[in-house]
Amino acid sequence: MKMKIIKREKYLDTLISVIGTPDIKVITGVRRCGKSKLLDELKTYIEKNIKTNNIIYVNFSLHDTTNIMKCELLYKYIEDRYQEGSNNFVLIDEVQMCEDFEKVINWIHAEEKFDIYITGSNAFLLSSDLATLFTGRTFELELYPFSYGEYLKYYNQERSDKTFNDYLLNGGLAGSYLYDDSNEKYKYINDVYKTLIIRDIVNKYKIQNESLLDTLTDFLMDNVSNITSIRNISNILNNNHVATNDKIISRYITYLCNAFMFYKIRRFDIQGKKYLSSQDKYYLVDHSFKFAKLGTKNINYGRVLENIVAIELLRQGYEVYVGVLNNKEIDFVAMKRNEKIYIQVSDDISNDETFQREVAPLLKIQDAYPRMIIARTHHEKYQYEGIQIVNIVDWLS
């Protein structure tokens, strides 16, 4: 069955905005988040909107590219298709399947006659490695799984409590939408997880203890939104008869973050205006991974909502931190240039005691930046003591 395709305008517009710049454009993101489809969208846009275009398109996932999987052969293939007087675009999907791919990209970039766009496996196009791989300047566009808004667009539905509940359980990996049965959906998502762990982490870093990595991933999934430290994780696992140490845990978490499975959110001292070095939070790139791996019994909806908000803030381009003020925690301090927002996230604030607990840290903030509680209020937005109270369904869509 062919998957339905929706235009992801935000990402496409970003790529369109850098057409003609000398950067090597690299599309990154977790497995199965839509990198290849976005490259196809860009190809279609160029064909329709750029005059005298010449697109040299290579998709290494297709069988007919086996004869150009060595760098000299790929280089010759691209050079032979160059057209003088045209706008020459090079679009390569799954570039890592070409042996010594980075040499080819550097060669054609140095010639200054191609506009280059590539996607590839996280194992070979880690954000931290781009400057080392490519001698030219890179422009990285990071994709995320579908947002709630994109989920609505895919199913042609309106925002509502029901559609949000569906998104909450289904998540944003669009490949799973082809399956009607929830067990099959989660099997697909779990298969994506296994591929990511084995191909993008175990194989790349030659990890011997795959079971420890899997146990650590389970722990991080189960403790999403909890403040934690490397030492605490190591101690807990050791106490549960899983032999490890701080250095191994730190290294494995770095690998998981490099593969875009988790995002580390650091703590920020609001009063001292400084970043704190220990005890971070980790959020899943898509909450459906947790359900696929650990099941859906006894869901802590507050934590799931917090994870959804964290990823949405990152998706919108914010720098995201955990706020600390007089030993009180504020879920998120979201910053973008001169903008700053303080955010608390809760599942249910209908109980007055819960509401007061959520609002108390926000009331102590002295500056004039916006303060917000995002919750399942089922109501229109309103204000309390200058704090916006927003229904998460409205905020996400």
Same-domain status, 104 and 119: yes
CA distance 373 to 384: 10
The pLDDT value recorded for residue 269 is: 84
- Boundary-marking domain end, from 143, 171, 203: 143
Reading the chain (397 residues) residue by residue, the pLDDT tens digits are 567 889 999 999 999 999 999 999 999 999 899 999 999 999 999 999 999 999 999 999 887 888 999 999 999 999 999 999 999 999 999 998 899 999 999 999 999 999 999 998 777 787 778 888 998 899 999 999 999 999 999 999 999 999 999 999 999 999 999 999 999 999 999 999 999 998 889 988 999 899 999 999 999 999 999 988 999 999 999 999 999 999 999 999 999 998 899 999 998 888 767 777 778 999 999 999 999 999 999 899 999 999 999 999 999 999 999 998 888 899 999 999 999 999 999 999 999 999 999 999 999 999 999 999 999 999 999 999 999 999 999 999 8
* Contacting residues for 151 by C-beta, under 8 A, at least 6 apart: 163, 166, 167, 170, 172
Query: Tokens in use for 303?
Result: 């934590």
The pLDDT value recorded for residue 330 is: 95
3-state SS record for 72-128: HHHHHHHHHCCCCCCEEEEEEECHHHCECHHHHHHHHHHCCCCEEEEECCCCCCCHH
CA distance 90 to 186: 36
Q: What share of the chain is helix, strand, coil (3-state, %, to 5)?
A: 45, 25, 30
Residue 299 lies in a domain: yes
The pLDDT value recorded for residue 2 is: 61
Q: Domain range spanning residue 14?
A: 9-143
- Total Cβ atoms within 10 A of residue 78: 22
Q: How many helices (H) and strands (E) does the chain have?
A: 16, 13
What CATH code is carried by the domain that includes residue 85?
Answer: 3.40.50.12060
Q: Are strands 115-119 and 87-93 parallel, antiparallel or unpaired?
A: parallel
Distances (CA, A) of 120 to 32, 75, 175, 193: 11, 17, 18, 17
Strand partners, 144: none
Same-domain status, 162 and 110: no
Same-domain status, 127 and 210: no
Domains in the chain, number: 2
Residue 4 lies in a domain: no
